[in-house]
Amino acid sequence: MRPKARGGKLGGELAHCRNLTQEARERGAKAAGESLRSKADDACADLAPIVRDLHAKGFSLAAIADELNKQWHTTRRGKPWNRTRAGRVLQRVHATSERVAG
């Protein structure tokens, strides 16, 4: 029978598995966040001009999502666009431009 099935301790609950200092865990979390942000920035970089232009023309988030779907663009995970995802890309576009400017 496996330890989990017997109700035993697993992973971080075991003393010999807690070998990272708090500083090392914080560095790892920071590096992971930067990596995810970079990947997300790269993924929406090609759509940023399209989303920015549509928003500047007064398109709603739902209309932006519809336009991206009409142009056969998909999300990073291959799904159709919706207004929430379009809004997040627009936020990322604005945040990226602020990071570059600042």
pLDDT at 78: 92
47 by DSSP, 3-state: which? Answer: coil
Q: Is the pLDDT of residue 9 over 80?
A: no
Q: How many C-beta neighbours within 10 Å does residue 100 have?
A: 7
Token reading at 36? 């995810």
Q: What is the tens place of the pLDDT at every residue in 27-48?
A: 999 999 999 988 888 888 889 8
Contact 68, 47 (CB under 8 A): yes
Domain boundaries along the sequence of the chain = 11-101
Average confidence score pLDDT of the chain: 86
Q: Which of 84, 90, 85, 88 is nearest to 49 (CA)?
A: 90
